[in-house]
Amino acid sequence: MASNTYHPGQLLQEKDHQPSSGGLGALGEADGVMDLTSPGLVNDVFGEEENHDIKYKTLTWQLVAVMMITEIVSNGMLTLPSSLDAVGIVPGVIVIAFLGAFATFTSWVLIEFKLRHPEVHNMGDAGYILFGPIGREILAGGTIIFAICATGSQILAGQLALTVLSDAKLCALAFAGIFTVATTICSFSRTLDHLSWLSVAGGASIIVAGVVAMAGAGAVPVDPGDVFIARATDFPSAFISITNPVFAYAGHFMFFILISEMKNPKDAMKAAWTLQIIATAFYIVFSVVTYWYIGKGVSSPSLLSLSPLWSKISFGLAIPNFFISGSLYSHTAAKLVFVRLFRRSRHIHSHTFTGWGIWTLLILLANAAAFVFAVGIPVFNYLVGITASLFAAWYTYGLAGAFWLHDTYHFKGGYSAWFQKPTMFTINVFTILAGAFICVGGLYATIYSLIQAAAAGELIQPFQC
């Protein structure tokens, strides 16, 4: 895919040997950040929009925070009680709290990188700046694959919710199809502005569903207090349990796209702080309360361990989040390709037949692929784990370290600038190593579990009713 006359990272390449005299210190000072509010900023993803039919830069930080909450605090949250069961309450809570703080730090580094490089629209663009054309294709392709798999995961969550609500009175495949249609319709808007208002309902629904689930666990407990405080287990089981909270924070791959459609990108960190505080606090409370009242052997997702009535109520309340967050994921996959094809062309901002035709095709392809992956691949759940390990581990954690090293080098005067900030240098090297560890460990644990499941005959058949 070749972009129209424009290449991400082009401005940086022209200035690689002319570092900014103002600099950015430890990447937090404002004097080195471009003023993205200036009208006519040439290097911005969408440029000046005042006289265009379709305007993208409409989001406030509050709406971006809601969208982040909707796509991150979603069905992944429902696996956290089982993670506590696998490693114990104390280690589980420590991991969740640490990952929340870690994700906040990497959010900050990612946002600072975006403010310095307003031409960056997605992880592919960032990959071009860091690693050249090959990096662009790998990180852009990874974003698309992960977004489609995440959409498929939400389709399966919706399928399960509808199956529970109906007492399995309709073929599960039909429920997946119904949910895919709803996801497709919601993802169809060309801009994120319309999705942002839907996300208010999506974010509220998962929070309310979680509160109701905790109430249901308390009202009809299974084995209250019969929990592990700390538990030793084998590496694959422990690591998979730990990766549940790891990937419960895995929304950073969308951040560049969200920030690109903000009115004032400098406010992005406010949205990130809101997300991480709410997510971390809610994850801890939800996982501990649910695990305490359900006890050992809690299911994943945990709503299946509730009494039938409370399970139905909780699943019903969560449904809006499942299809709205799925819409955000499929929209992300389509938007990346669309902007790549038409950046700086009239099809981006005008109601052209070509623009709407390609956009429609991309949305249909993204959601159709998610549906086929979800119901047609027997190992889909393991595929999600593999793609999360390969890509989300880097997008959420590891790449942030590379962003800091790159910008410190180019904006502060070369390798010596790294060692002038020894604490930041150490933290960001650790961030890269952490991304590598999560990637390799996650791949090993997921593939090991896949082999075990295949040997035990536990893989489901494709397109199973």
CB 196 within 8 A of CB 71: no
17 — phi, psi (to 5°)? Answer: -100, 15
**Residue 16 pLDDT > 60, yes or no?**
no
- In whole angstroms, give the CA distance from residue 178 to residue 263: 35
Q: Check: CB of residue 286 under 8 Å from CB of residue 138.
A: no
Find, among 361, 383, 359, the residue nearest to 372 by Cα: 383
pLDDT tens for each residue of 381-439:
888 889 988 998 999 999 999 999 999 999 888 888 898 999 999 999 999 999 999 99
Contacts of 382 (CB under 8 A, 6+ apart): 446, 447, 449, 450, 453
The residue ranking higher by pLDDT, 42 or 77, is 77
Q: What average pLDDT does this structure show over 135-143?
A: 96
CB 248 within 8 A of CB 318: no
Question: For 299-303, 369-373, 412-416, which range has the lowest pLDDT when averaged over its residues?
Answer: 412-416
End-to-end C-alpha distance for the chain, whole angstroms:
38
Burial of 191 (0-12, 13-18, 19+ CB in 10 A): middle
Q: Give 307-330 pLDDT, tens digit per residue.
A: 999 999 999 999 999 999 999 999
CATH superfamily to which 28-380 belongs:
Hydantoin permease (1.10.4160.10)
pLDDT band for 42, please (50, 70, 90 cuts): low
- The string of pLDDT tens digits covering residues 158-183 is 999 999 999 888 888 999 999 999 99
Per residue, the 3-state secondary structure of the chain, as one string, reads: CCCCCCCCCHHHHHHCCCCCCCCCCCCCCHHHCCCCCCCCCCCCCCCCCCCCCCCCCCECHHHHHHHHHHHHCCHHHHHHHHHHHHHCHHHHHHHHHHHHHHHHHHHHHHHHHHHHCCCCCCHHHHHHHHHCHHHHHHHHHHHHHHHHHHHHHHHHHHHHHHHHHHCCCCCHHHHHHHHHHHHHHHCCCCCHHHHHHHHHHHHHHHHHHHHHHHHHHHHCCCCCCCCCCCCCCCHHHHHHHHHHHHHHCCCHHHHHHHHHCECCHHHHHHHHHHHHHHHHHHHHHHHHHHHHHHCCCCCCCHHHHCCHHHHHHHHHHHHHHHHHHHHHHHHHHHHHHHHHHHCCCHHHHCCCHHHHHHHHHHHHHHHHHHHHHHHHCCCHHHHHHHHHHHHHHHHHHHHHHHHHHHHHHHHHCCHHHHHCCHHHHHHHHHHHHHHHHHHHHHHHHHHHHHHHHHHCCCCCCCCCC
Q: Where are the domains of the chain?
A: 28-380
Cα dihedral value 391, 80, 278, 106, nearest 10: -30
Residue 31 has pLDDT above 70, yes or no: no
Cα Rg of the chain (Å, integer): 22
Residue 22 has pLDDT above 60, yes or no: no
User: 214-244 burial string, b = 16+ CB within 10 Å, else e?
Assistant: bbbbeeebeeeeebbeebeeeebebbbbbbb
The mean pLDDT value of the chain amounts to: 87
Integer Cα distance of 4 and 344 in angstroms:
7
pLDDT on residue 326? 95
Q: What is the pLDDT of residues 240-295, one digit of tens each?
A: 777 777 778 888 999 999 999 999 999 999 999 999 999 999 999 999 999 999 99
User: Among positive and negative, which fits the CA dihedral 109, 121, 198, 328?
Assistant: negative
This prediction has a pTM of 0.87
453 falls in which pLDDT band (50, 70, 90)?
confident
Widest Cα–Cα separation across the chain: 67
Task: Characterize 117-126 residue by residue with b for buried, 16 or more Cβ atoms within 10 angstroms of its Cβ, and e for exposed.
Answer: bbbbbbbbbb
Amino acid at 159: Q
